[in-house]
Structure 1
Amino acid sequence: MPSTNLHFMLASLPGAEHSMPLFDVLHVPPSTLRPRSDAVSRIEIAQALNMLLFEKLLKAVPHGNDYVADAVRVGSKVRFDHGALRTVLGISTGMLPAGEAAFTRILRPLGYRLNGVYPLQRLSMTGRAYAHEDAPEDIAQFFVSELHPHHFSATFQTTVNKILATSQDPLDAHSKQLLQHLSTHRSLAGTEALALLPVLVRCFDRQHSLPTIAEYRTLLAESAEMAWISTEGNAFNHATDRVADVAAVADAQRQLGRPIKDAIEVSRNGRVRQTAFRACPVTRMMQDEDGTPVEMQVPGSFYEFISRERYLDEDTQTDKLDLSFDSGNAQGIFKMTAAAAPPVLVDA
């Protein structure tokens, strides 16, 4: 039998044969490796969710999967720094709560708190970072961005509304009750945690119908980010590996011929450096002007790298890891999915 709650949860879920090797891939915080018990804490559930979402991202991003496979071969482990997702605020989103509210209802019961607000003005978006209260330096953060459609044309807003109005809510009544219990008591019974986890994973996906080709082009003309949301929804836009030296990693990946960003984004305080692979193309089925389903190639998700320096907090006189983000960095990284080209017809 698995010796910790975290091992038990991942071993008990469907597809466990894929999830269990994640212990060899990822640095797992000791605080999440608690002996088997009847109750599972919020930090253990948060870590299990993060590991499952990381695995999901790797399946969608071959370049990231290849990088991780290289690391495993030499005995290294990935330190999962944060996952990023996109939402839309101020417009009909069907059965799904609008904007980040669709995810704060999940993150807060899991123990996450707001750790920074970042205006992304060039993209007409706002980003918010959430860090875990119990182990902020060890548990992966979530970077949740909201797009503001009212900054765009009336035609754009109508198109966004039409697409997102079809959204369904993956959280059922029982899952909402479990999240409420978790918020109050900070733990769930093992069977309850196992019931909740697959539902939470499904929240990080597209909940609305795919756009038509014409609708996609309408969105792309004004916002590559909204065009991405229209096909990928709330899936992880990227997952990020915390490394010691982003520049060295970028050089090594470039020598391997992998499509990594040309420049490194550096925060205004100089302590946070980021770069990324370019988004992997994915195939999505869209309807043409005659209503015929057509396979189209569009940008998917990507894998990112980040270096964070430590600093002395003058208020508390304690040594801390800089867990902040930077609006300039984020807007530069977001360009990885902004392949400035129309959707490409996939040859039959």
Structure 2
Amino acid sequence: MASASRNAAESLETLHHLLSPLVGEARAGWVLDTLAIDFALAGSARRASRAQVAMALNAALFLDLLDRVPTAARYVGEMREKGEPIVFDHGALRTIDGPTGALPPGHGAFLRFLAPLGYEVRGLYPLPALTMTGRAFVQVDLPETVPQFFVSELHVDQLAAPAQDAAARVFGTSTDPLGDEEWLALNAIGRHGDCTIEEGVTILKGALRAFDRRHSAPALADYEVLLAHSKEGAWIATEGNAFNHATTRVPDVQGHSEDLKAAGYPLKPAVEISRNGRVRQTAILADKVARPFRLPDGRETTLEVPGSFYEFITRDIDPDTGRIDLTFDSGNATGIFAVTRGA
């Protein structure tokens, strides 16, 4: 897919107006020139459709991931140098199905504000080996070209008692990123399917706060308990609801993987293949990040822990529909999640 920003930059004025207050003029232009943008998202109106707001959110989250994951930034920079736009397939995040303070638990904390942007759940993926469940959030207006969200939730009540107690202490301090102003704007776009640029910016600012760590820095002792019982729970303790990974859709993930390995990228050893054979995925191993932890004496310490990562996916055509297979696969997801364990 050619990037609309490369062919008609002025046609992306609405997206630029939505993004600039969040990331600045220069970075807004950069990301719109980097991602493959559907021409259906073009426009210069002073009102933004829900699909445009959804795309602006994904573009801002894509930038945030590149800021946090140097290896991903290197890859995207190399693709830009080759003149190859990034087809942004989906972003993934992890949530807590358990006590979360003022924040609604699990996937509902995100569906509540993504639904007004046209997202709905179109896939349920049990992840029993991880004590989790994944859900695919699809933007119904442009399902193939506005990125999906893969939202997983950790079932705290299925963990051992010490881990449940640690989770309650860590995640019970969570705050809600959305207030009255954001809900007024969300209600407007939910009713009409579009909103003013100003309302769109308000929605995006609140949504971006949601994709962050909403709880206090964890106590080191609680982190260690979570790590022993759920490495995914420990990851959420330090990273919160930030993008766990962003995913590029490529024509041949196997060949792309081999090329990246030859270029020195630390990739998973093998490509994950869905049960139907149509969805194939691999990923770069997670970068390490320095995160704060609270000590019993009230001081803080900093340790290196696994951060986020970058993923690649190939989606074949579903012969029953004649369209791209937008589904996920529980086995693939379980395998991909492992890249944050050995960072």
For Structure 1 versus Structure 2, the TM-score category normalised by the shorter chain is over 0.9
Q: 1:268 & 1:73 partners in 2: Cα distance?
A: 36
2:264 partner amino acid: G
- Alignment match, 1:345: none
CA drift at 1:14: 4.5
- Alignment match, 1:276: 283
| CA offsets 1:93-134 (integer angstroms, 9 cap, x no match) | 111001111100111100011110000010010000011111
Q: Which residues of 2 match residues 48-87 of structure 1 at below 5 A?
A: 48-87=56-95
Please tell me whether the aligned partners of residues 257 and 267 of structure 2 are also in contact (alpha carbons under 8 angstroms).
yes
Q: Which residues of 2 match residues 48-127 of structure 1 at below 5 A?
A: 48-89=56-97, 91-127=98-134
Secondary structure at the counterpart of residue 198 of structure 2: helix
One of 320, 325, 339 as aligned partner of 1:322 = 325
Gaps of 5+ in 1: 341-348
| Residue 6 (structure 1) aligned with residue 15 (structure 2) | yes
Secondary structure at the counterpart of residue 99 of structure 1: coil
Number of positions where the alignment pairs a residue of Structure 1 with one of Structure 2? 334
Q: 1:103 & 1:13 partners in 2: Cα distance?
A: 19
* TM-score, structure 1 normalization: 0.93
Q: Which residues of 2 match residues 238-249 of structure 1 at below 5 A?
A: 238-249=245-256
- Alignment match, 1:343: none
CA drift at 1:43: 0.6
- Alignment match, 1:152: 159
Q: Percent identity?
A: 46
| CA offsets 1:169-223 (integer angstroms, 9 cap, x no match) | 1111110121122111111111111222122111101000111211111000010
Please tell me whether the aligned partners of residues 181 and 202 of structure 2 are also in contact (alpha carbons under 8 angstroms).
no
Please tell me whether the aligned partners of residues 250 and 313 of structure 2 are also in contact (alpha carbons under 8 angstroms).
yes
Distance change in 2, residues 1:138/1:14 (3 Å): closer
- Alignment match, 1:38: 46
CA drift at 1:37: 1.9
One of 312, 337, 341 as aligned partner of 1:338 = 341
Please tell me whether the aligned partners of residues 2 and 8 of structure 1 are also in contact (alpha carbons under 8 angstroms).
no
Q: 2:295 & 2:304 partners in 1: Cα distance?
A: 14
One of 302, 305, 310 as aligned partner of 1:298 = 305
2:336 partner amino acid: I
Greater mean alpha carbon deviation, residues 267-276 or residues 281-290: 281-290
Q: 1:211 & 1:8 partners in 2: Cα distance?
A: 37
Q: Which residues of 2 match residues 22-37 of structure 1 at below 5 A?
A: 22-34=31-43, 36-37=44-45
Q: 2:213 & 2:300 partners in 1: Cα distance?
A: 18
| CA offsets 1:311-331 (integer angstroms, 9 cap, x no match) | 222xxxx41100000000000
Gaps of 5+ in 2: 1-8
Q: 1:292 & 1:42 partners in 2: Cα distance?
A: 45
CA drift at 1:40: 1.1
Please tell me whether the aligned partners of residues 19 and 55 of structure 1 are also in contact (alpha carbons under 8 angstroms).
no
* TM-score, structure 2 normalization: 0.94
Please tell me whether the aligned partners of residues 31 and 63 of structure 2 are also in contact (alpha carbons under 8 angstroms).
yes
